[in-house]
Homo-oligomer: A and B are copies of this chain.
Amino acid sequence: MSLNIKPLADRVLVEPTEAETKTASGIIIPDNAKEKPQRGTVVAIGNGTKDEPLTVKVGDTVLYGKYGGTDLKLEGKDYLMMRESDILAII
């Protein structure tokens, strides 16, 4: 399903993955009950800034820091709006 939302500038909308899932590359994020999940799928991206175009694409699975982003609820699901600089890696 495509979401009707356009992040501004270097912002990226991420749908967090359930923490207990294991990726194809075998990455397991420790499930610390006091921490939010650190992995997700990019569902929308901004146009980047004049100085830095974005690297991630819609559909990428990404790892991100625990404290980045703003919680948003869309179509009944939880998303995180973050800056690309809060994303650590594409997996």
Contacts and interface: CB of A to CB of B under 8 A. Distances in A.
B28 A73 contact: yes
What number of copies of this chain does the assembly contain? 7
Given A49-B52, A52-B49, A52-B50, A90 B26 contact: no
A29 B73 contact: yes
Contacts of A23: 4
A25 B49 CA distance: 26
A85 B90 CA distance: 20
Contacts of A50: 51-52
Nearest to A29: B73
27 contacts: A5-B25, A5-B27, A5-B90, A6-B90, A6-B91, A8-B55, A8-B84, A8-B87, A8-B88, A9-B55, A11-B89, A25-B74, A27-B72, A27-B73, A27-B74, A28-B73, A28-B74, A29-B72, A29-B73, A30-B73, A44-B89, A46-B89, A47-B55, A50-B52, A63-B72, A63-B81, A65-B70
